[in-house]
A and B are shown apart, each in its own frame.
Chain A
Amino acid sequence: MGETTPSEFQPVDTLLDSTLESVDSAETTILGMAEKMGFDEDDLHKIGMSVREAMVNAVVHGNRYNSRKKVQLRVKAAGSELAIEIADEGEGFERENLPDPLAEENLLRHSGRGLLLIEAFMDEFQVRKREPRGTHIRMVKRLAAGG
């Protein structure tokens, strides 16, 4: 059985509707690629959860389920690296303006932990406000050496 090498993957560049179904489909697409790249079960869980968190941010908090707004999903597998970009058309935010979820006074807040989880689970993570509007998240996971 021939192994699929990362270079064989076609990059993904698509616009998704602002629905929870898009969250599921993004997760399924990316996990399919990640599994073929050789990520282990633990990393697949981390990648899947990071994608869900970023997609939920885009669909729910960014685009607020607005059917006229889309979520842009880009995925690129190159060498041992899986790079994922998710962008919405919401109002956008700067991370430094968000409450710190680890601050004592915020521990019992209902929400605000998604970015923290992505940062913990991925090897690279950046979030920035887009111009003229929206938020752009880029995250990267690398295969462990020898993995």
Chain B
Amino acid sequence: MSVKLTTRQVGDVTVIDAVGRITLGEGASTFRDTIRDMASGGHKKVLLNLGEVSYIDSSGIGELVSGFTTVTNHGGILKLLGLSKRVKDLLQITKLYTVFEVFDDEAEAVRSFT
């Protein structure tokens, strides 16, 4: 199964709930298109919920980084929510913990945008 993305608004924060795998191929391109649409649609506060993402490979990590850059280039900010231990480990190995703001609690994450 590749990734399935649904979006919802919590105040002025756009939350993207991701379910499945973000890997080379369909999963990564679905992810890329959604983030690009969010950014170009004027969504400046984007919270990406990865709580139901079971697997991310290096292509998926590349998409997270590209998503971060895309939103930033549109004057917004992208933060991460609900990372599994494995995804946290990936961010540690790749030093991307220094790039992303990461939250375990959604309410706290939403408040952090204000």
Contacts and interface: CB of A to CB of B under 8 A. Distances in A.
B57 A108 contact: no
A93 to B, nearest CB: 16
B109 interface: no
A82 to B, nearest CB: 20
B95 A53 contact: no
Interface stretch (B10-18, B33-41, B45-53, B58-66): B58-66
A110 B57 contact: no
A60 B61 CA distance: 17
A137 interface: no
B114 interface: no
Contacts of A102: 94-95
A87 to B, nearest CB: 19
A53 B86 CA distance: 16
A120 interface: yes
Interface residues of A, number: 20
Interface in A62-120: 101-102, 107-111, 113-114, 116-117, 120
Contact of B98 (A60, A101, A107, A111): A107
Give the interface residue-count category, chain B.
20 to 34
A30 interface: no
A56 interface: yes
Contacts of A53: 57-58
Given A60-B24, A102-B94, A117-B90, A111 B59 contact: yes
A45 B57 CA distance: 11
29 contacts: A20-B24, A45-B86, A49-B55, A52-B23, A53-B57, A53-B58, A56-B24, A56-B57, A56-B59, A60-B24, A102-B94, A102-B95, A107-B65, A107-B94, A107-B96, A107-B99, A109-B62, A110-B63, A110-B65, A111-B59, A111-B62, A113-B58, A113-B62, A113-B94, A114-B58, A116-B94, A117-B58, A117-B93, A120-B93
